[in-house]
Structure 1
Amino acid sequence: MIRVLLADDEAMVRAGVKAILDTDPGIDVVAEAADGREAVQLARVHRPDVALLDIRMPRLDGLAAAAELRRTAPGVAIVMLTTFDEDQYVARALGEGANGFLLKAADPRELLIGVRAVADGAAYLSPKIALRVVADLRGGRLARHDHARHRVAALTGREREVLALVGEGLSNQEIARRLTLVEGTVKAHVSAILHRLDVANRVQAAILAYEAGLTTAR
């Protein structure tokens, strides 16, 4: 069962998101918060697997809440909920450790796919947001390519293989099947990769894999 914390200051939005999540018997909304500060407090109590955070909330916005959760509850996967005109916050959110980004106006199936993806250790970006991220990456790709390749060179050959698959958005289980490894071994490789590259999460690692040329955006 995937335990989810939902935080949004609009009660109707929370009700709508919860209704979608409730259609999946493998997902349980264990707590709801109306602001970022309450979300952080409830995360400490309920220990959810995934926190869905609206970006714009009172007391503590979603970005600040994500940073606080990364410090105090590092095991919680964080997914930001946003409207399309707020996607300028994507880079900052990823820097704060967010594992995913979803549009409120997207197909409801994206919400379920995204929650399951991050709960399984993968990253998930709404396709429209992913296009913007790829465009931003391409804008300065040549300038970042050499730097990324230098950082990735510190990894072992197997770690680079794992990083390339992380860059493709595969979960630990999928990587294990692809490389014929035990899932626990993949988890150990991913932890080592994040440490060696000094990145906060799989999203940042995936971006670095793209910049280093280990994978291509799809």
Structure 2
Amino acid sequence: MSETIRVLITDDHFIVRQGLRLILKTAADIELVGEATNGEEAIQLTAAHQPHVVLMDLRMPVMDGLTAIEQLGQLHPKIAVIILTTYNEDEMMLRGLQLGARGYLLKDTERETLLNTIRAAARGESLFKPDILQRALSVQATATPPTKLTSSSSADELTPRELEVLQAAATGERNKEIAFRLGISARTVKAHLTSVYNKLGVDSRAAAIAIAAQRGWL
């Protein structure tokens, strides 16, 4: 997108907000429009400032991040939410993705990863760090035994190719990378993912991966 990306930070720890603020100030194409200390404030500030991207902590007083993500999805579905997570919030992160978050970041992530993830979210895309996602999927697999993908485990069964594309997406591969490895076009990859979204009743790669992980498909 050509316009400046408007970002809202939501975290109850001052030092986290300060660190993010300093990083965002170094990017000419990103503008910090507000800082919230809990989910309730995030909803209020989102309505007031209409950011393109909201960085959302999960554990906060008054209103937690999951509740805020769900409400923002209902009130402002076009605004991208990126989860701010730590190493002990894997299950919450997956739940947040299923509720509509566009992606996730560790709070100690490096500058370029933070900025690139924000830019991707503002464009309507999702960027995943494979190591974080694989760890989260491992936790989910331990909690939920894998189930065979059949019509009994899903209202609409995914085709083998759709499942293959979804599993590749879950490792962090982008459409062009998936296309190259599978020997198909990027347009075909996009079509498969769109079909997956329709069958699972979601509108993003993040939500599809979260649901697939919770059902033991990955």
Q: How does 1:1-16 map to 2 (within 5 A)?
A: 1-16=4-19
RMSD (Å) for aligned C-alpha atoms? 3.7
Give the corresponding residue for 2:118: 115
- Asked if the contact 2:147–2:153 (Cα under 8 Å) also holds between the matched residues in 1, the reply is no
Matches of 1:173 and 1:40, distance apart in 2: 35
Conservation of the 8 A alpha-carbon contact between 2:8 and 2:32: yes
Q: Distance in 1 between matches of 2:143 and 2:149?
A: 11
1:64 offset after TM fit, Å?
A: 1.0
Residue pair 1:117, 1:171 contacting (<8 A) in 2 also: no
Q: Partner of 2:149: helix, strand, or coil?
A: helix
What is the CA–CA distance in structure 2 between the aligned matches of 1:200 and 1:23, rounded to whole Å? 32
SS in 2 for 1:79: strand
Q: Check whether the contact 1:101–1:129 (CA below 8 A) recurs between aligned residues.
A: no
Is residue 104 of structure 1 aligned with residue 107 of structure 2?
yes
Q: Deviations over 1:161-197 (max 9, x none)?
A: 9867755656789999x8465xxxx6x9866653332
Q: CA deviation at 1:100?
A: 1.5
Contact kept, 8 Å, 2:7 with 2:53, in 1: the verdict is yes
Match of 1:64 in 2: 67
Structure 1, unmatched stretches of 5+, are: 214-218
Aligned to 1:44: 47
C-alpha contact (below 8 Å) 2:85/2:93 kept by paired residues: no
**Do the aligned partners of 1:120 and 1:172 also contact (CA within 8 Å) in 2?**
no
Structure 1 residues 160 and 139 mapped into 2: Cα distance closer, same or farther (>3 Å)? closer
From the superposition, tell whether residues 148 and 56 of structure 1 become closer, same or farther in structure 2 (CA, over 3 Å). Answer: farther
Long gaps (5+) in structure 2: none
Partner in structure 2 of residue 130 of structure 1: 133
Give the superposition deviation at 1:159. 7.7
Deviations 1:142-168 (A, max 9, x none): 833414897596679998898677556
Distance 1:14 1:205, change over 3 A: same
TM-score relative to the length of structure 2: 0.73
Distance 1:192 1:126, change over 3 A: closer
Which stretch has the larger CA shift, 65-74 or 103-112? 103-112
Percent identity for Structure 1 against Structure 2 = 37
Distance 1:118 1:148 in 2: 33
More helix by share: 1
Q: Which residue of 1 aligns with 2:30?
A: 27
TM-score between both structures, scaled by the size of structure 1: 0.73
Closer, same or farther: CA 40–173 of 1 in aligned 2, 3 Å = farther
- Assess if the C-alpha contact under 8 Å between 1:8 and 1:33 holds in 2: yes
Amino acid paired to 2:5:
I
CA distance in 2, matches of 1:173, 1:2: 25
